[in-house]
Amino acid sequence: MAALPGLDARFIKMEMGENLGFAVANNRAADRASADWIALLNPDAFARPDWLEQGLAARSRLPNVAMVGSTQILALEPHKFDGLGDEYHAFGVAWRAGFGEPIRDIQTREAFGPCGAGAFYDRHVYQALGGFDESFFCYHEDVDLAFRIRLAGYRCVQSAETVIDHVSSAISGRASEFAVYHGTRNRIWTFFNNMPGPLLILLTIPHLLSNLAFLTVSLFRKGRFSPTFRGMRDGFFTRPNSRSAKVVRKASLLSLLKSMGWNPLKVVKRRCVNERPLSDHSE
């Protein structure tokens, strides 16, 4: 914070005093905001000059938009994408579409939700649903929030023109025990907290098998088994204690199912669920 340049009266500098996590910090900032939309930018992300302008312009590309995602470029490998929005498989697995893929021409499209490294949210929707679930601390809280926003009947535009450069996982380390534990636990929490009852009955066994597959793979990756096992234990046998995060289902089951992926290869290859570019105000 001390390294920030001089800020004029438009800016409010908030110091937490300790590391309270991504979810808490952004919720506190949103509480102080007064604009209709809020923009989130990670400390290891660098916005292009027109990032705000393009992000706000993308809101009109679909009806009922409450989320806009950024096109993320790997800051240290600028010939590759860092991400093209968050996607969600019906079995309860989320992924950042396009991670590590070579840069290519892309079109604005619909995604399940935005990656929190550079995301825009309708503040009124964000706060009505309690913002990020503060029990998550960090990792997967953007997917959880996107799920709740979709359940409430809103959508996400993944904007091709809204660009940031991101030093991916520079803060906690992509494969650190911290990241693996929180990512595993929070993935399970997201599924059981948000999946509607009829779908939960249908998809719980596939979700369990998916987690068993993650645990099996972790046996062959140094340092992964212990945090994966602990994350699964806490994910299945504890529940988030946040009192603010709300789940309000207004969306139809059909619209929710259409927003998710069903092809396992989409997860493995980190592909976009919906590749179809948007026309203005397309349904």
- DSSP 8-state symbol, 278: P
pTM: 0.93
- Look at residue 218 and tell me if it is in a domain: yes
Q: Looking at the structure, tell me whether residues 89 and 186 fall in a common domain.
A: no
Task: Identify the CA nearest to 179 among candidates 230, 133, 239, 131.
Answer: 230
For residue 270, what pLDDT band results from cuts at 50, 70 and 90? confident
- Quote the pLDDT of residue 103: 97
Tens-place pLDDT, residues 216-241: 999 999 999 999 999 999 999 999 98
Q: Evaluate whether residue 248 is within a structural domain.
A: no
Q: How far apart, in whole angstroms, are the C-alpha atoms of residue 41 and residue 55?
A: 12
How far is residue 10 from each of residues 26, 68, 78, 90, 217, measured CA to CA in Å?
18, 23, 32, 42, 49
Whether 181 and 165 share a structural domain: no
Which 8-state DSSP code applies to residue 209? Answer: H
Does the structure show a pLDDT above 80 at 174? no
Q: Is residue 281 scored above 50 in pLDDT?
A: no
The predicted structure's pLDDT at residue 275: 84
The SS3 of residue 80 is strand
Specify if 104 maps to a domain: yes
Q: Is 60 exceeded by the pLDDT of residue 101? A: yes
Q: Is the pLDDT of residue 173 over 80?
A: no
Could you list the residue range(s) of the whole structural domain that residue 75 is in?
A: 22-172+257-268
Q: pLDDT above 90 covers what percent of the chain?
A: 79
* β-strand pairing of 155-166 with 65-74: parallel
- Domain count of the fold of the chain: 2
Centre a 10 Å sphere on the Cβ of residue 53 and count the other Cβ atoms it contains. 12
| One domain, residues 26 and 115 | yes
Predicted confidence (pLDDT) per residue in 104-149, tens digit: 999 999 999 999 999 999 999 999 999 999 999 889 999 999 999 9
Give the residue-averaged pLDDT of 20-31. 92
Question: What pLDDT does residue 104 have?
Answer: 96
Helix boundaries (H) for the chain: 22-32, 51-57, 123-128, 141-151, 177-194, 197-218, 225-237, 253-259, 264-268
274, part of any domain: no
